[in-house]
Structure 1
Amino acid sequence: MSQPVMVSGKLTTPGGSAMKKGRWTYLDNVRRNPGPFVSEEFTGSEEAVTASERVKVFGAGGLGCEILKNLALSGFQDIHVIDMDTIDVSNLNRQFLFRASDVGSSKAECAARFVEKRVKGCSITPHNCKIQDKDDDFYMQFNIIICGLDSIEARRWINSTLVNLVDPENEDSLKPLIDGGTEGFKGQARVIFPTMTSCIECQLDMHAPRAAVPLCTLASIPRQPEHCIEWAHIIAWENEKPFPALDNDDPEHITWLFQKALARAKEFNISGVTYSLTQGVVKNIIPAIASTNAIIAASCCNEAFKIATQTNPCLGFEENYMMYTGDAGVYTYTFKHEKKDDCPVCGNLARDLEVDPNLTLEEFIASLAERAEAQLKKPSIRAEKTLYMQSPPSLEEQTRPNLIKKIGELVGNGDEIGVTDPSLGAVNFKYRLKFSKEYRGNAIETASAS
């Protein structure tokens, strides 16, 4: 195919007519002409290959706004976006698809409307709901999934959902997952091919849980505004129960916590408690920087474009994880994160877990929440029989007596247990229990006697 050349400000092909220079000219050059790294599946079509791809975007916040804009300007024309949040005044400094008149409205709907207005021919379907509200058939309709989420739990949920969708006899069931995340001046982008490459659960130890504040500090002498907020969140809420259940996205609930925290702060002469900080602490919101969002979103959309057009190798099989830091200069590094055989989502092996058999089941469950590779909140446990279930209430009541029993009374050394958590979808942690050596003999005798 002849290469177009620039003549008098117009693109012309030898022996052909002049082509009008427009928005998609340079993008079409990439899609039309094979480069040195194109895959064997590259067709060199003049049509907008990306237009036939249906893309799902999770999140319409700081990162999601950038992703939606980039996808539309990269030729993707059938995009869906899901976000349950509404627009707050504090969002306007970096979530550029929103205006002051949008405050209180759905993020997904406003973002879709803005991009459709600016990029003609692009269709964006908004979904103002939780990602868990959609079933498997909904996710099966997409070719590429992109996450711009600020929640580890949400990432783990969609990750396990996509892994479970994979059918070895149906190649269309494999949905590439592109995940972006930012934290201040740092960020990451990664591409996951479910069941084939390392998944989010394989990489969970890179997301350490937030350090807990000692309860004695919260209850006795707080020193920081965050301590006052955590006191309102953990102690005051539990004591007063102003609402049946805490909803972190309900302004009325956050306002109640803010007022309690502010009163606590005044009592100890602590300044700095604000509504915004209260919301950030309760929801574990990390301050966002617009330039970091832009860089990570560009990387995510670049990977989506490469997957859709085959114009270049994407992250995924060799190097699959790109990290960026901008606090001490601009630095990026790409490496391969290995797939784990004992991953609870995409692996097949159980993880060895050393445990003191004299621990009660309740103490053991509490210890699981502190494990970086698990990060569970309300775990349920099964062995050959159900040991404890958090829900439904009838089953919780039935298994509650086991909480005071010792682990050594319920299972044996070397037994496997399955651990699930309702917030993580189909994730099933498999552990092979190894009793601590100093207790192993006594525990075996106890188990034999029972």
Structure 2
Amino acid sequence: MELEINERNRWKDITNIFERDTQFKGDLFEPSDELLEMYLESAKVLVVGAGGLGCEILKDLALSGVKDIHVIDLDTIDLTNLNRQFLFRMKDVGKFKSQVAADFIMRRVPGCKVTAHIGKIQEKDDEFYRQFQVIIAGLDNVEARRWLNSLVHGLCQFDEDQKVKIETQIRLVDGGTEGFKGQARLIVPYETACYECTLGTLPKQQSYNSCTLASTPRIPEHCIMYAYLHEWDLAFPTRKADKDSMEDMTWIYETAKKRAEQFNIKGVDYNKTIGVVKNIIPAIASTNAIIAASCANEAFKAFLQQSLNIKDYFQYMGNTGVSTLTFPYERNEKCIVCSSLPQTVKISRSTKLQELQDLLKEKPFELTDPSLTADNGSMLIPVVMRNQHAEKLPMSFTQLIAEGHYQEGLIIHVTDKKLFAPAKIQIHFTD
């Protein structure tokens, strides 16, 4: 069914792109007057995060003709969000970001359907994610990015020649901002470098000397981190603080404020507590707009390849003028997510299972609480029934092999909450 004239005129700028030939097109693109209708009917995007960056991305997608958008976020709107998250108003404070953002976009852009989801990305099943051609992440933490990266790789299917089936590739566009700086990158599963490949390039998070925190705090950050790292464990030894819980963050704020008063330090408030604990750097609306535009642009090009996508990392540095840089990351052949080969871990036979588990929590793996299952089905530290297998933790690999818990040369499948799909490692004994 041909589009009505008014509808075609509405998207005339997009029509020009779809109907004109160009030397910058992708391999599969052929200009046609039918592409506009195909695009308007089939483009479907998931936006992860409805904060400062997510609001801009939602607006850009809707105004670029994407009529089927889903957005997921677990946060509610805070008063401090209003200066940069422009889809929200004072009356929306306390409501869920994804719902308010979805309703706002649908009111302002006729014909655009935005479906809101509340909760964690890990709670959705495979079929939910398979319905999207593109996922755009507007996140503020590494852990969620790692999980999404593992997701889009884990959902890929392969043909008999072990080549990725194109129809199962979900492109991941990742955006991020820090003050006047920002980045956007495109991850095409098993083609470009994945997020895990480049973990080593991430800057170190702000750290504080433990002696200073305990003995001579001088700034609000010292009081907040002492409450978070030390006093929380004393008060709640059986559980970690939930950074997304208002109740937990309020306890840390109040505890930090009392400590600040003892040392005559001013400046501890709830918002600063959130920023320090979550390592949040103040956002700037103009940076969000620039990075969101880049993310939406990459998503727009991904559907029909009417123009080549970036290769594959875009960096914006507004703190040194209007400066940009684009370059390709190289794939890591030993990546635990996108490499076809298991990563080799070198240990001695005297290494204890607990020591291997601890090793996987350090670089380059940086996992949280890895579970280990061998290729033949034997379970070293399984995902379930961990207590029943805890007796293996102090055992060396010499003992594990002798008692039949592990056979030398087997590939070990590693699962962790930071990964959607299991990673593969292979042990190489050095003795």
Band the TM-score falls in, shorter-chain normalisation:
0.7 to 0.9
In the alignment, structure 1 residue 301 sits paired with structure 2 residue 296: yes
| Contact kept in structure 2, 1:48 and 1:75, CA below 8 Å | no
Shift of 1:192: 1.6
In the alignment, structure 1 residue 380 sits paired with structure 2 residue 368: no
Equivalences for residues 214-233 of structure 1 within 5 A: 214-233=209-228
Shift of 1:288: 1.5
Distance 1:258 1:20, change over 3 A: closer
Shift of 1:159: 1.5
Shift of 1:413: 10
Q: Which shifted more, 330-339 or 297-306?
A: 330-339
1:187 match: 182
Name the larger-Rg structure: 1
- SS of the residue 1:202 aligns to: helix
1:26 match: 13
| Contact kept in structure 2, 1:50 and 1:305, CA below 8 Å | no
Aligned partners of 2:280 and 2:30: how far apart in 1? 41
2:32 match: 44
Q: Which amino acid aligns with 1:109?
A: Q
Aligned partners of 1:407 and 1:90: how far apart in 2? 53
Distance 1:62 1:357, change over 3 A: farther
Shift of 1:122: 0.8
2:337 match: 345
Distance 1:231 1:423, change over 3 A: same
Distance 1:286 1:366, change over 3 A: farther
Q: In the alignment, which of 84, 94, 100 is matched to residue 94 of structure 1? A: 84
In the alignment, structure 1 residue 69 sits paired with structure 2 residue 52: no
Equivalences for residues 11-22 of structure 1 within 5 A: none
Aligned partners of 1:429 and 1:219: how far apart in 2? 41
Tell me the percent identity: 46
Q: CA RMSD in A?
A: 3.0
Distance 1:190 1:224, change over 3 A: same
Per the normalisation by structure 1, the TM-score is 0.82
Aligned partners of 1:21 and 1:134: how far apart in 2? 36
Q: Which shifted more, 52-61 or 204-213?
A: 204-213
1:104 match: 94
- SS of the residue 2:70 aligns to: strand
Q: Which amino acid aligns with 1:334?
A: T
Distance 1:37 1:112, change over 3 A: same
Aligned partners of 2:182 and 2:393: how far apart in 1? 41
Q: Which shifted more, 57-66 or 343-352?
A: 343-352
Distance 1:225 1:403, change over 3 A: farther
2:44 match: 54
Distance 1:360 1:221, change over 3 A: farther
Q: Deviations over 1:349-398 (max 9, x none)?
A: 33344558777655554454342x32222233456854445x54x41x33
1:196 match: 191
Aligned partners of 2:94 and 2:426: how far apart in 1? 45
Distance 1:280 1:407, change over 3 A: farther
Aligned partners of 1:117 and 1:359: how far apart in 2? 61
- SS of the residue 1:347 aligns to: coil
Aligned partners of 2:64 and 2:37: how far apart in 1? 9
Per the normalisation by structure 2, the TM-score is 0.85
Shift of 1:82: 0.8
Aligned partners of 1:369 and 1:270: how far apart in 2? 36
Q: In the alignment, which of 85, 91, 108 is matched to residue 75 of structure 2? A: 85
Q: In the alignment, which of 291, 306, 313 is matched to residue 311 of structure 1? A: 306
Distance 1:81 1:326, change over 3 A: same
| Contact kept in structure 1, 2:135 and 2:173, CA below 8 Å | yes
Question: How many residues are matched?
Answer: 412
Q: Deviations over 1:287-309 (max 9, x none)?
A: 22211111111111111111223
In the alignment, structure 1 residue 136 sits paired with structure 2 residue 131: no
Aligned partners of 2:361 and 2:222: how far apart in 1? 21
- SS of the residue 2:196 aligns to: coil
